[in-house]
Amino acid sequence: MEDIGREQANTGPNRELEISALMRPIVAGPLGSASRDALAIYDAALAAVSADRLVQRALRVNDGVLQAGDHRLALDDFRRICLVGAGKAATGMAQAVEAVLGSRLAEGVVVTKHGHGGPTVRTKVLEAGHPVPDEGSVFGGEAVAGLAEAAEQGDLVIVLISGGASALMELPGHGITLNDIRVTTELLLRSGAVIEEVNSVRACMSQLKRGGLARLIAPAQAVCLVLSDVLGSPLESIGSGPCWTGTTDHDDPEAVLRKYGLFAGVPQSVAAAARAGAARWTQESGPEPIHVLIGDIWTALDAASDRARQLGHAPIVVTGMMQGEAREIGLTVAGAARDLPRLRAAAGIDCLLFGGETTVTVRGHGKGGRCQEMACAAIPVLAGQEGVCLLAAGTDGTDGPTDAAGAIVDATVARRAAEAGLRADDALAANDTYPLLDRIGCLVRTGPTGSNVGDIVVALLSSEDHSQEGRNA
């Protein structure tokens, strides 16, 4: 099959027909062959982390036995089965659970991001704000908490958690208001704190995080299906660990706030909660929650690598732990992309794949996102490097508060920016990358993907352009 894919990938018109049949990402500007291949690779990564596909792979019913990952549960042992959850992938995950369980599922409620809802049969889908919680987040948190608390011994509660759950499902702690949480979240997101640190503070402000949902579900059995968007997939950090019952290295929210100079600026209620730390889950009754990790960034990277080979490229996955300031990572990855002709000549490698999640320290008042900052930083580096491209995009279809998943840049993009009198450095200084990338037609738009495992970066050298190898080596 690999040889067949390589043959199809290098046969002129058939190559474009093959790609256009698969491609969902949309880019407004003209694309070279490297950019078309990069988009096809990204599309394959999105398909691999489709939430419904991953749930149906992890959750099966055979002869009255529910198999959840490596765990087997006899359905006759349970009086009632219900469903709760939150995240950007909540709708697709809920649809898949309904398909697996059918009439065995009594009812459910999940919370997803505004615009990410969809039809379900027995599950109520609510929508809320992300990345900063809104009134819908509290309404959703109350609905989830109500159904969880109604569960009794002998019941089974399936919990669906995916990226975004921390903001989408909220039940403020004692003395803390929604506005307190909003102010603190905005400060954290602008500070450059990594997601584990952000979620450590979120946990101390909430009744549902760090085992809070598990406390409500007990003494019923909880089975938690988790789609990870956090580097290394620590269960306590994904969605702030609503069913996590263990200990964690990120249990000092006060230290996080002080590290970023935020302790004096957060509301007094949050400062007091940070001093106290997140509430500990104590197992007073009921079974330990079962966690099943159904997918993460490596699910996407493996599929991206397979697709690159099918298109005739020789890929290497550099890391699934990409992190750091977005514009700095963009410069580093663009430098690696610029060196691809030399790497192909020396080792045959012409495609570099990265996965993870960067951060943006916000200093300006513009519009953009972490993937757009990576792409924008790469523009001057790739100027004049014909046949080389860099794609940076989120797997959820939304990069920052924009309608773009990310962007794709190459030498033609650099020329278009120069001709329009646009400077990448100016856009980065103002955190205003979206208008520049939109104007030169290199934003990648997918719409909501129904999934979220982090960001994908593809650096690629065209398989059709060998003339640059000698000049750039």
pLDDT tens digits for range 234-272? 999 899 999 998 766 657 899 999 999 999 999 999 999
Q: How far apart are CA 91 and CA 51, in angstroms?
A: 9
The whole-number pLDDT of residue 27 equals 87
The whole-number pLDDT of residue 338 equals 96
The whole-number pLDDT of residue 25 equals 82
Shared-domain flag, residues 39 and 78: no
Shared-domain flag, residues 77 and 168: yes
Given a cut of 60, is residue 2 above it in pLDDT? no
Given a cut of 60, is residue 17 above it in pLDDT? no
Q: How far apart are CA 280 and CA 403, in angstroms?
A: 38
Whether residue 143 contacts residue 109, with contact meaning beta carbons closer than 8 Å, is answered with yes
Shared-domain flag, residues 244 and 332: no
Q: Please give the mean pLDDT across all residues of the chain.
A: 90
From 276, 295, 314, the end of a domain falls on 295
Shared-domain flag, residues 84 and 232: yes
From 251, 266, 295, the end of a domain falls on 295
Q: What is the 3-state secondary structure (H, E, C) of the chain?
A: CHHHHHHHHCCCHHHHHHHHHHCCCECCCCCCHHHHHHHHHHHHHHHHCCHHHHHHHHEEEECCEEEECCEEEEHHHCCEEEEEEECCCHHHHHHHHHHHHHHHEEEEEEEEECCCCCCCCCEEEEEECCCCCCHHHHHHHHHHHHHHHCCCCCEEEEEEEECCHHHHCCCECCCCCHHHHHHHHHHHHHHCCCHHHHHHHHHHCECCCCCHHHHHHCCCEEEEEEECCCCCCCCCCHHHCCCCCCCCCCCCHHHHHHHCCCCCCCCHHHHHHHHHCCCCCCCCCCCCCEEEEEECHHHHHHHHHHHHHHCCCCEEEEEEEECCEHHHHHHHHHHHHHCHHHHHHHHCCCEEEEEECCECCCCCCCCCCHHHHHHHHHHHHHCCCCCEEEEEEECCCCCCCCCCCEEEEEHHHHHHHHHCCCCHHHHHHCCCHHHHHHHCCCEEECCCCCCCCCEEEEEEECCCCCCHHHHHC
Shared-domain flag, residues 442 and 358: yes
The whole-number pLDDT of residue 24 equals 65
Shared-domain flag, residues 31 and 124: no
CATH code for the domain in which residue 80 is found: 3.40.50.10180
90-120: pLDDT as tens digits: 999 999 999 999 999 999 999 999 999 999 9
Closest CA to 205 of 238, 244, 179, 236: 179
Domain of 192 in residue numbering reads as 51-295
Q: How far apart are CA 86 and CA 163, in angstroms?
A: 8
Lowest mean pLDDT among 15-29, 404-418, 434-448: 15-29
Q: How far apart are CA 211 and CA 144, in angstroms?
A: 14
Closest CA to 300 of 96, 41, 97: 41
The whole-number pLDDT of residue 276 equals 87
Whether residue 316 contacts residue 353, with contact meaning beta carbons closer than 8 Å, is answered with yes
Cα separation of the two ends of the chain: 32
Shared-domain flag, residues 103 and 237: yes
Kindly report the backbone phi and psi dihedral angles of residue 175, in degrees, each rounded to the nearest multiple of 5, phi listed first: 80, 0
The whole-number pLDDT of residue 20 equals 33
For 90-104, letters b (16+ CB in 10 Å) and e give bbbbbbbbbebbeeb
Shared-domain flag, residues 180 and 62: yes
Q: How many domains does the chain have?
A: 2
> Sheet holding 155-162: strands in order across?
123-128, 105-113, 80-86, 155-162, 221-227, 290-295
Closest CA to 189 of 181, 178, 198, 202: 198
From 295, 329, 352, the end of a domain falls on 295
Shared-domain flag, residues 275 and 336: no
The whole-number pLDDT of residue 16 equals 32
380 CB burial (10 A radius; 0-12, 13-18, 19+): middle
Lowest mean pLDDT among 37-41, 199-203, 333-337, 375-379: 199-203
Q: How far apart are CA 228 and CA 317, in angstroms?
A: 19
Q: How far is CA 77 from the centre of its chain?
A: 35
Average pLDDT over residues 370-387: 96
Neighbours of 246 (CB within 10 A): 11
Shared-domain flag, residues 236 and 324: no
CATH code for the domain in which residue 29 is found: 3.40.1480.10
Neighbours of 372 (CB within 10 A): 35
Average pLDDT over residues 394-413: 95
63-99: pLDDT as tens digits: 999 999 999 999 999 999 999 999 999 999 999 999 9
Shared-domain flag, residues 443 and 321: yes
In this structure, what token pair is assigned to residue 44? 């394959």
270-329: pLDDT as tens digits: 999 999 875 554 555 568 999 999 999 999 999 999 999 999 999 999 999 999 999 999
Kindly report the backbone phi and psi dihedral angles of residue 220, in degrees, each rounded to the nearest multiple of 5, phi listed first: -75, 165
Q: How far apart are CA 152 and CA 263, in angstroms?
A: 40
What angle (nearest 5°) sits at the alpha carbon of residue 179, between those of residues 178 and 184? 100
Whether residue 168 contacts residue 111, with contact meaning beta carbons closer than 8 Å, is answered with yes
Shared-domain flag, residues 304 and 265: no
Q: How far apart are CA 265 and CA 186, in angstroms?
A: 12
pLDDT top residue among 455 and 246: 455
Q: How far apart are CA 450 and CA 34, in angstroms?
A: 27
The whole-number pLDDT of residue 412 equals 93
